[in-house]
Structure 1
Amino acid sequence: MHLIDVTNTYRDLVEKQLSSTNSQYVKVYSLGNISVVYSETTDKIEIVMENHKRAIRQDEVEFVIKRLVHEDKIYDITIDKSRKIISITCAK
């Protein structure tokens, strides 16, 4: 599995996120068919994973957490019923 930085492809999304929220930093990654949006505010990190075609597997969630969240951080995960959208939030 590889996270590929595709932030430049999603320029409009990044600009909207930065202007309409208190996010200070936004990155967009691709993990195969999964879009991963990483954003930071002054006090928290939020990661949203989305796949319209299938449910996101647990090993994919663990891979993103390992790559984007430091091991010593405590995080909360919110999963929709279909497992197509997953939100991970942790304090900075």
Structure 2
Amino acid sequence: MHLIDVTNSYRELVHSQLNTTNVNYVKVYSLGNTSVIYTESDEAIGIVLKNHDRRIRKEETNFVIERLIKEKNPAYELIADKSQHVIEIHIDK
């Protein structure tokens, strides 16, 4: 699995996030058919995984946490929609 930085392709999303929320850092990655949106504010880190075609696999979630969170064994809250096509990971700082 590879995370590919595709932030430049999502300028409107990044601009919207920075202007309408309290985040101060936004990155967008591609993990095959899964989009990964990483946001960071002074209080928390948020990661959203989204796949329109299929459920997000646990291995993908673990891979993203391992790659994007520098802290060892971070405490996080995982929220998934009913179909598991969208998963949100929330980490308090």
For the aligned pair, the TM-score class normalised by the smaller chain equals over 0.9
Structure 1 residues 54-65: aligned runs within 5 Å: 54-65=54-65
**Offset, 1:72:** 3.6
The offset of 1:84, in angstroms, is 0.2
Residue matched to 1:44: 44
- SS of the equivalent of 1:17 reads helix
Gaps of 5+ in 2: none
2:75 corresponding residue in structure 1: 74
AA partner of residue 18 (structure 2): L
CA RMSD across the alignment:
0.7
Query: Taking every aligned residue pair, what percent have the same amino acid on both sides?
Result: 54
Q: Give the counterpart letter for 2:41 in structure 1.
A: T
* Residue-by-residue CA offset, 1:27-66 (whole Å, 9 max, x unaligned): 0000000000000010100000000000000000000010
Counterparts of 2:47 and 2:65 in 1: how far apart (Å)?
Answer: 9
1:54 alignment partner, SS class: coil
Native 8 Å contact 1:73 1:91 kept in 2: no
**Runs of 5+ in structure 1 lacking a partner?**
none
Q: Aligned partners of 1:71, 1:83: CA distance in 2, in Å?
A: 26
Q: What is the alpha-carbon distance in structure 2 between the residues aligned to residue 74 and residue 58 of structure 1?
A: 17
